[in-house]
Structure 1
Amino acid sequence: MFLSKISQDNRMLFLQLSTHAALLNNDLAKDHEDIIIAQSKAMGIDDYKIEINTDINTLIQEIKENSSQQEVYIILFEIATLIMSDNKYDSLERQFINNLQDKLDVSKEKLTNMLYLINQLMGDYRSILNEED
C-alpha cells in the first residue's frame, strides 16, 4: 500500500524482511508468495527471488540504521499485513512482530494501532468480497 515511499536503498532490505516473515513456519504459503511478488513489482523490482540471503538480526539493524521513522512505520505495517494476510496470527508470528517492533524502536501503542487498522481493513475487505451484487 505504501511501498513506493520506501527508499530505493531499503527496498531489498524490506523484501528480505518479508521473506523472513513469510518463512516463519518454514513453509512458504502461496498467499505469502503472491504478496511478496506483488510487493517487489510495486517497488519496481521484477526479478526478486524469494530466498533468505541475510541474517534477520543484521537485516533489522540495517533497516534501523538506514530508514527514516516513516519508513520504519511503513515497513512494520506492511510486514504485519503480510503475516496477517492468511487470517492466522499465531504465537510465532506475534513474537516476530513484537521483536521487530522492539528492535526498530516502535512504541507498543503504535504497533497496537497498526494491528487494529490491519484487522479493520481485512474485515472490510472480506465484507466487500462476501457482499452479493
Structure 2
Amino acid sequence: MATAVLEVEFAVCECCGLKEECTPAYIARVRERFYGRWVCGLCSEAVKDELCRANAIIGMEEALQAHMKFCKQVRSDVNANPAVHLVGTMRRLLRKSLDSPRALRSTPSSPRVNEDVARKGIARSNSCFSTLAR
C-alpha cells in the first residue's frame, strides 16, 4: 500500500505576518485570488468584511489595501507590554465591528426576550439540592 506524501511549504501572510504550512496548490489559489499576495485565512475573512462594510462599491484589491493598511497600523503600534497591545487591538476590532452596518452583523443565536419577561427574571419554586441530599 503506497502512502502519498503531501508536500507542504511555509507561507507568510503579507498582511499580518502569520506563518502557515500550506500545500503549493493552496498557496497558488490564494495568490490568484489576492493579486499575487498570500493572505492567511483570518486576514482573508477580514478582507471580505472590508468588502461588505465599504460605503461605496469597492473591489477586492481596494479591500485588500484597506486591510493591509489596518494591519500595518496595528503592527506600528506594538508596545513593549504585550497585554497592552492585545487590549488595543481588541478595542480596534470592536470599533470596526460596531461601525459595520447592522444588517451585516450576525444575528444572535438565542431568541429575543420581551423586556417585561427579562425584568421579572426566572422564579424558582424549590431547590434541587434538597432532594439530592436525602
Considering fraction of residues, name the structure with more helix.
Answer: 1
TM-score, with structure 1 as normaliser: 0.26
Higher RCO (C-alpha 8 Å, min separation 6): 1
TM-score, with structure 2 as normaliser: 0.26
